[in-house]
């Protein structure tokens, strides 16, 4: 999908391995869904998806950001409502 929309990818990973507890399959699915939502929100040929991991004291921090259109203020309260979408 990134190639089809000509979206650039920027990756900045921690120089030391980070370990987290969790179900690998569910974590992979959650991260991919966040990335896909960002990809769909970006304009073709102008998108930039950034992924960064780092250690912050005793925590692992994963940041996924994009330069897409963002979320409308009125939609934020519904983000975790099952089946909520703005897609046709």
Confidence grade of residue 51 (pLDDT, cut at 50, 70, 90): very high
Averaged over 14-39, what is the pLDDT?
92
The structure's pTM equals 0.80
Cα 24 to Cα 19, 30, 37, 46, distances in angstroms: 11, 10, 20, 31
Averaged over 39-68, what is the pLDDT?
93
Confidence grade of residue 79 (pLDDT, cut at 50, 70, 90): confident
pLDDT at 23: 96
């Amino acid at each position: 999908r990134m190639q089809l929309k000509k979206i650039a990818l920027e990756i900045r990973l921690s120089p030391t391995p980070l370990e987290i507890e969790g179900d690998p399959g569910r974590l992979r699915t959650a991260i991919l869904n966040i990335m896909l939502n960002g990809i769909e929100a970006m304009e073709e040929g102008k998108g930039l998806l950034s992924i960064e991991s780092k250690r912050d004291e005793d925590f692992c921090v994963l940041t996924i950001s994009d330069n897409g259109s963002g979320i409308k203020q009125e939609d934020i309260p519904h983000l975790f409502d099952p089946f909520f979408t703005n897609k046709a």
